[in-house]
Amino acid sequence: QVQLVESGGGSVPPGESLRLSCRFSGQAFRTYSIGWFRQTPGKEREFVAGIKGNGGRPIYADSTEGRFTMSRDNAKNTVDLEMNSLKTGDTAVYYCAASNRLITSSQRLSSAYHYWGRGTRVTVSS
């Protein structure tokens, strides 16, 4: 059974940084693609960043490209999301998600992921 646990959320002023982590429990971590999503009340979950199981270059949403960096450590079963130059619009609950049946064209779709963490809250406010 796959379990995902996010950590690292918090409250920071605009312009600051946070680093989120996602710990994967289960078998064959390197076969899973991982995605980061975020959600605010009343809105759909929004894709933030994603990385395939074999690593490679992560992909990002237009709103996070250049500010966020996603990485994975297959030896430690973890995925990190470094978030820099945070804006008030980045305020949300952030979730990591996993799938071992993901196709590249679905990487940005929340429906393509089968396992989800409970989320970690990020608040960007002055």
pLDDT tens-digit readout, 80-116: 999 999 999 999 999 999 999 988 889 999 999 999 9
Please provide the average confidence, as pLDDT, over all residues in the chain. Answer: 96
- Token digits of residue 62: 């237009």
pLDDT at 104: 81
pLDDT at 103: 84
Nearest to 120 by CA among 80, 63, 65: 80
> Residue 30 phi/psi, 5° resolution?
-70, -10
Strand, coil or helix: what is 103? coil
The DSSP bridge partners found for residue 120 are 94
Q: How far is CA 84 from the centre of its chain?
A: 14
Model pLDDT for residues 31-81, shown as the tens digit of each residue: 999 999 999 999 999 999 999 987 789 999 999 999 999 999 999 999 999
Strand, coil or helix: what is 104? helix
